[in-house]
């Protein structure tokens, strides 16, 4: 039988519960299961972490993670850069997992239940960066995400970073953004905790 200690792993300086940890199992019994693919840590979060290590935001930056799921990227930004972070997801059932991991890592992250298209200009205007990993997996998400990107830039967000393995909807979004915004699409390789290839869409405010 594995111990609680063995059921916790460390990645990028963060402690993460493995899915077999009793705390995760208990939470799954106690709350509803996440509904919109927010049932694990997706590797695109690590791609964004590596990008931010090479292109760090200023200390105490205000960062919003959209489609946050368990919020590992949010928690990492709060710890790594002392950032003021808000994690946004349309599924409220992901947030107990986020808060549990934030507590495990001795930090805190604000949360907000919202769809992309419902985020208000006033809240976006308070952010320096908007981040999102594995968030454009359906064609019907392209429009709302494009609108959110446009609204974010209009309200002064300096940098938007979206990562994806290279799904068709994401690549369509990237193509659309390259036509209208100051953006670039980067091919990247992740070496750990898993070996994967993916893409980064980086959009800078002019």
| H or E segment to which residue 56 belongs | none
Helices and strands counted in the chain (H then E):
7, 9
| Helix, strand, coil percent values for the chain (each to nearest 5) | 40, 25, 35
Which tokens is 62 given?
């205000």
pLDDT the model gives residue 37: 43
Using the predicted structure, report yes or no on whether residue 187 has a pLDDT greater than 60: yes
- pLDDT of 169 > 90? The answer is yes
pLDDT mean over 93-117: 93
Q: Look over the chain and give the mean of its residue pLDDT values, rounded to a whole number.
A: 89
> Tens of pLDDT along 21-42?
666 666 665 555 554 444 457 7
Domain range 36-204, its CATH number among 3.30.870.10, 3.40.50.150, 3.40.50.2300, 1.10.275.10: 3.40.50.150
Please determine, for residue 8, whether its predicted confidence score (pLDDT) is greater than 90.
Answer: no
Q: How confident is the model at residue 18 (pLDDT cuts 50, 70, 90)?
A: confident
Query: Residue 205: CB partners within 8 Å, gap ≥ 6?
Result: 153, 156, 157, 158, 159, 182
Please indicate whether residue 97 or residue 187 has the higher confidence score (pLDDT). 187
């Amino acid at each position: 039988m594995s111990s609680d200690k063995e059921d916790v792993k460390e990645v990028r300086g963060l402690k993460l519960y493995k899915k077999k940890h009793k705390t995760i199992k208990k939470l799954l019994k106690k709350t509803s299961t996440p509904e919109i693919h927010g049932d694990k840590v997706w590797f695109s979060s690590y791609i964004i972490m590596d990008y931010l290590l090479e292109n760090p935001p200023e200390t105490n930056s205000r960062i919003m993670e959209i489609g946050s799921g368990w919020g590992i990227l949010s928690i990492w930004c709060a710890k790594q850069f002392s950032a003021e972070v808000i994690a946004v997801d349309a599924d409220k059932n992901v947030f107990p997992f986020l808060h549990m991991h934030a507590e495990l890592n001795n930090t805190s992250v604000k949360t907000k239940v919202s769809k992309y298209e419902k985020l208000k200009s006033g809240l976006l205007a308070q952010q320096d960066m908007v981040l999102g990993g594995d968030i454009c997996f359906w064609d019907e998400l392209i429009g709302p995400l494009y609108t959110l990107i446009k609204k974010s830039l209009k309200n002064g967000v300096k940098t938007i970073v979206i990562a994806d393995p290279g799904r068709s909807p994401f690549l369509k979004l990237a193509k659309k953004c390259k036509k209208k915004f100051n953006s670039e699409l980067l091919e990247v390789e992740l070496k750990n905790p898993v070996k994967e290839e993916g893409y980064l869409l980086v959009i800078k405010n002019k």
